[in-house]
Structure 1
Amino acid sequence: MILSGVPTVALIPILSADQIRLLAAVMVPILLLYLFILISEEAFELTGIKISHAFFMTFGALIGSFIDIPLGMIDGVTLAVNVGGCLVPVALSAEILIKRRVSPLPAVLSVAVVTVVSYYFSFPIAGEGILMPFYIAPLVGAVAGILFTRAGPTAGAAAYIGGTMGTLIGADFLNLATPGTIEAIAGGGPAVLSIGGAGVFDGIFLTGILAVFLATLAARRIRRSTKDPEAPRHE
């Protein structure tokens, strides 16, 4: 995310800011309306993601992406965290794990995989930030969530935790911890680096959309299932 002409930590957008805001404004209400009309709350919660979570993963990231909270100075560079791209996914992931809505092992494994892939594909660019193709996090997170839950009902929750936390750790924290990265991004001038910045444009926001979509599919499957009268257990 670029704040007043200075570089921050972000992921490569393909569409313009206005185009993505318009796309999000259309997609998010349709997705949430679909949840309320076709999915019962009881079935949806069996996926590990509550309907309230779906709101925060989408609208929370969208609104919070405009808010950066300064943390301090590092080598002359102001370090900040983005509410929508960092604080919202961290809080949601912690709540999902603490309340055991998804088993820790699939979530941790998903985070590990996305962390490695994100670190590999991300790179610092002077005046731009830490860049990575936006589709890496949601796709790898979704595949990891599906594999590690054995395509279970909590695949969406594992995908969200893996995609968001893996991106923050791999693309942001590990790169920022690498010697010389901050100086390289700043390009010798004053800069504000926002962890999870441009949340509406990067893979973190798209990971939330995809996670809700996976959870919706799982909830539909649970609702339609008539073979097993017992509620599906979390994988």
Structure 2
Amino acid sequence: MFASIILSDVAFRILSFAISIILFYITYLVLTKAFRFLGFSSIESIFIVIVSFLFTFPIIVFGYDISNIAIFSYNDWMVGINTGGALVPILISIYLIVKRNIPLLKTCVGILIVTTVTFFVTKPVPDQGIVSSFPYWLLPGVLACVSSIVLL
């Protein structure tokens, strides 16, 4: 009986490890294919994903949080930007806009549309930040995709 418990525990651990590796590999394939489609190499895409993932969580260096950068304060509100969730995607977007020579007018129209809709579907919540409830939090991302297809 004791041996069967140990074997089932070992089998469970091996199965869990195998499933984790398979899911990681599938994620790797999907992400590298998507980034290659955008013009990035496999190594660049892995670097982008790792940096975005790591800087999503709080990282304290010399007493400063480098994953959440404070930009300015307004009354009792601190306005900041998350490195992994906002700064890295913004830099990737700027890189792609410059690389593909996308006209400034089309870029500004797309940003204006998405920003306007985002303004109306979000609200500030103390100790949480700017939030949006389901299903409205889907609108900015979907609208960004649709506007990029329509404008380009």
The TM-score, its normalising length taken from structure 1, stands at: 0.40
Q: Does 1:136 align with 2:139?
A: yes
Higher relative contact order by CA 8 Å / sep ≥ 6: 1 or 2? 1
Q: Which has the higher helix share?
A: 2
Q: How many residues align structurally?
A: 116
Cα contact 2:121–2:137 (8 A) shared by 1: no
Q: Does 1:50 align with 2:51?
A: no
Q: Which position in structure 2 is the counterpart of 1:145?
A: 148
Segments of 5+ residues of structure 2 without an aligned counterpart are 1-22, 58-66
State how far apart, in whole Å, the 2-side matches of 1:77 and 1:131 are.
14
Segments of 5+ residues of structure 1 without an aligned counterpart are 1-23, 150-235
| Secondary structure in 2 matching 1:102 | coil
Identity of aligned residues (%): 22
Residues 109-142 of structure 1: per-residue CA shift (max 9 Å, x gap):
2111101110111112233321124312221111
Q: Does 1:90 align with 2:90?
A: yes
State how far apart, in whole Å, the 2-side matches of 1:33 and 1:97 are.
20
State how far apart, in whole Å, the 1-side matches of 2:98 and 2:85 are.
20
Q: Which has the higher strand share?
A: 2
Residues 48-93 of structure 1: per-residue CA shift (max 9 Å, x gap):
x322565466443222212223446544555443111222122222
Amino acid at match of 1:93: S
Greater radius of gyration (CA): 2
1:119 to 1:50, Cα distance in 2 relative to 1, 3 A: same
Residues 151-198 of structure 1: per-residue CA shift (max 9 Å, x gap):
xxxxxxxxxxxxxxxxxxxxxxxxxxxxxxxxxxxxxxxxxxxxxxxx
State how far apart, in whole Å, the 2-side matches of 1:135 and 1:57 are.
23
State how far apart, in whole Å, the 2-side matches of 1:57 and 1:102 are.
22
1:139 to 1:78, Cα distance in 2 relative to 1, 3 A: closer
Q: Which position in structure 1 is the counterpart of 2:119?
A: 119
Q: Does 1:65 align with 2:64?
A: no
Computed over aligned residues only, the root mean square deviation of the Cα atoms, in angstroms, reads 3.2
The TM-score, its normalising length taken from structure 2, stands at: 0.58
Cα contact 1:110–1:148 (8 A) shared by 2: yes
Amino acid at match of 2:69: I
